[in-house]
Chains A and B, each alone.
Chain A
Amino acid sequence: MDALISYLVNVISLGGTYALLALGLAVVFSVLGLINFAHGELMTLTGYVLLAGILTGQQFWVAVLIAVLACGLAAVLMEFAAFRPVRNASGATLLMTSFAVSMLLQVLFQNGISARGQAIPVPPWLTTSISIGNSQISKVQVMSITIGILALIALKIFFDRSYWGWAIRAAADDFEVVGLMGIKASRLISFAFLLSGLLAGIAGVLWVVQRGSVDPLMGFKPVLAAFIVAVIGGLGSLTGAVAGGFILSAIEIALQTWLPAGVMPYRDAITYTVVVIILSFFPNGIFGKRDQEKV
């Protein structure tokens, strides 16, 4: 029973972060057809802004808020400076641009801040744990789960009830039709980047608080995981991004929990093998749109 509780807590905690990350990617993909690999660097930026906020004496939650807003703003600026000039170029050009932005930001972080990781001084109360039955759960995980669930609920309300939420959902189905309905493409894309940046900011806070440090290359692993999550769920599918997050998390945690010690070094390889098996049954992702062929 304790093992099951621990498993569920770990899956929800990690899955929520993955879902937020993948949603950030999916929102931009919906409107621009771009997988933004610089999304991870937005997370890294959040970590550095959070650190700066804490070191300049801001309250922890104030620093968190500033970091998330800064990330949203940075995403809008990224779109304006890097992606807008090549918006009508091919998918390959957009992809290369996102890699270039990612590399540029990494080098800027390394040379402008430090090549070494920087510790994030979180409040002492976050370093303890609470008991559920015989299981102990760290407060960082509790925070991660709470924020993750609240963010997902807020997103659900946003997508269901707001004008821009409808616009992004519609764009995910057919971007051209959204344009024909009078919504300006530039504003929609900027808004999608803002939302993507805010999601990267929330995920970034959860990531660095759990990890305890921020470093220039921190964004690579999470963006890779988010990409896989988005593919599992179906590229461009917002529901799929959430589902994919929890599926990947469930696979990773299950393997980490129950794989025999001798096989453990192959955990990542097994995880990705399972992902390939899932994709062999759902080539467009679980919630992806099927390719339509006209006869």
Chain B
Amino acid sequence: MNRKTGPLKVSKTIAGLSVIMLLAACSSGASDAGSTEEAAAPAAGEACIVKVGVAGGQTGGLAYADVPHLEGFELWAEQVNANGGIDGKFTIETIVKDSRSDITQSATVAAELLAQGISILITSADADPTIAAGALAQAEGVTAVSWFGSAPIVQLAAGDHVFSNAFGDNTQAKVLADHATEMGYQNAYTLGSPDSSYTKMLPVYFGEAFEANGGKVVGAGSFSMGQASFSVIVDEIKALSPAPDVIMTPAYEPDFPTFIKALRGAGITAAVLGTDGIDSPTTLALADIAEGVTYTTPGVLKNEGVMGTFFTDYNAKYGKDPETIYAVTGYELGLTLEAVVTQAQSCDADAIWKAWANLEGAQGITGKISYKGGDGMAIREIALIEIKNSERSLIGTFSPDPATVPKAQL
């Protein structure tokens, strides 16, 4: 999932990059200061503290995703520490700093965290701040992992120490395209936004995969995040010939509810495909309007089976049920770290990076998670869900052949 806050993106990015360069210089100085600490670091296999720095959005536009991720992660950390740490000897210390969902602030707090000698950095559920903060971690040789930034470009843009807990947008677009083909849809309309990598590239990946399957993209619309009305776009869809039988959009809250209301309000009944950003109670609360909407997500949020245990533990800690799958994927990032540290037997940043890059088959709640050969993105199953009677209904889980997935683009 990625989120940008619209028209300020370009100026924010430029400002962010300027600050990153400045902070990189500052934090490299911090690294020198910390080299003594590194020299005194425990040998492999000896008990130590895994310092986890979290540069996420506790406030601002990414808080809706970053906060539940952190809740899930802190639940995991509490459970691990209650059992004496990972493998009984590697305890977790979490240091949280609010990036305010801002690219520049993400880099600032990442530099502060790196100066504290963290073993690993966790960043927002968005590629843009992840790249900004990840570039600093890369320079320090520290692994940076995004909560769930799904634009498959984090390593292309920031380097091989940067990862994401999410599957790639190109992969989820492939799953949607295959579903559209299987349903017999022939003409698609895509609706994206230039305001973020996520909303810009997902329709492109979908169109590429759908046309490779033999379908045709008959129209491609563009919206601005947070725009007041989708009536003009709906009019454009109505005027298309041939009429699309499927509409794909990565729009999420608050744009997705606005769009689907305008679409159905105008009497357009074409199937609608969405992405992980709409896996929330807000979409389910749209009732009849959202009926039949199909989307990709890491797993089905249901109080049963393995996830039922998570529900019980989460409720015991926070006094509420998890609202979105992001709490689960936050917990899963903890499980991934557990597998990595178990393998590395160290709190050393370099050892953790090597283990992370070569990780295969870590057991999460929604399934197995690997990173080896994933170009920084988590290799994990993608659940395809259809909304039926305002509830999530699983169509199936998919792991597309990487050879058939559209190539990641910057």
> Which A residues are within 8 Å of any B CB, using their own CB?
3, 6, 9-10, 13-14, 17, 106-107, 110-111, 114-119, 121, 124, 127-129, 136, 138-141, 207, 210-218, 220-222, 225, 253, 256-257, 261, 264-265, 267-268
Contact = CB atoms under 8 A, between A and B. Distances in A.
Interface of B: 6-7, 59-61, 63-64, 67, 194, 220-222, 224, 226-229, 231-233, 235-236, 238-239, 253-254, 257-258, 260-262, 264-267, 280-283, 285-289, 323-324
B187 to A, nearest CB: 16
A119 B286 contact: yes
A110 B59 contact: yes
Contacts of B226: 218, 220-221
Given A116-B280, A119-B285, A213-B257, A107 B231 contact: no
- The interface residues of chain A, by DSSP majority, are classed as helix
Given A124-B288, A136-B266, A117 B254 contact: yes
Contacts of B264: 127
B281 A129 contact: no
B265 A127 contact: yes
A257 B194 contact: no
A215 B60 contact: no
A273 B286 CA distance: 37
19 contacts: A3-B239, A14-B229, A106-B59, A117-B254, A119-B286, A127-B288, A136-B266, A138-B266, A140-B262, A211-B254, A212-B257, A213-B253, A216-B63, A217-B60, A217-B61, A221-B227, A225-B228, A264-B221, A265-B222
Contact of A211 (B221, B258, B267): B258
Given A124-B288, A129-B267, A210-B258, A256 B232 contact: yes
Most chain A CB within a 10 A radius of its CB, from B64, B265, B285:
B265
Contacts of B261: 127, 138, 140, 210-212
A115 B67 contact: yes
Nearest to A218: B254
A118 B324 CA distance: 13
B101 to A, nearest CB: 9
B228 A207 contact: yes
B258 A212 contact: yes
Contacts of A222: 228
B289 A127 contact: yes
A2 B262 CA distance: 17
Contacts of B324: 116
A17 B228 contact: yes
Given A121-B287, A225-B228, 4 more contacts: A10-B235, A116-B253, A117-B257, A207-B228
A136 B267 contact: yes
Contacts of B286: 119, 212
Contacts of A10: 229, 231-232, 235
A111 B194 CA distance: 29
B389 to A, nearest CB: 15
Contact of A268 (B224, B280, B289): B224
Most chain A CB within a 10 A radius of its CB, from B67, B264, B282, B288:
B282
Contact of B6 (A110, A136, A207, A221): A221
A213 B256 CA distance: 10
Contacts of A138: 231, 261-262, 265-266
B288 A119 contact: no
A141 B221 CA distance: 21
A119 B257 contact: yes
B59 A210 contact: no
B222 A261 contact: yes
B176 to A, nearest CB: 21
Contacts of A253: 232
A213 B254 contact: yes
A3 B239 CA distance: 9
Contacts of A220: 226
A139 B239 CA distance: 20
Contacts of B229: 10, 13-14, 210
Contacts of B238: 136
Contacts of A14: 228-229
A10 B228 CA distance: 11
A118 B283 CA distance: 9
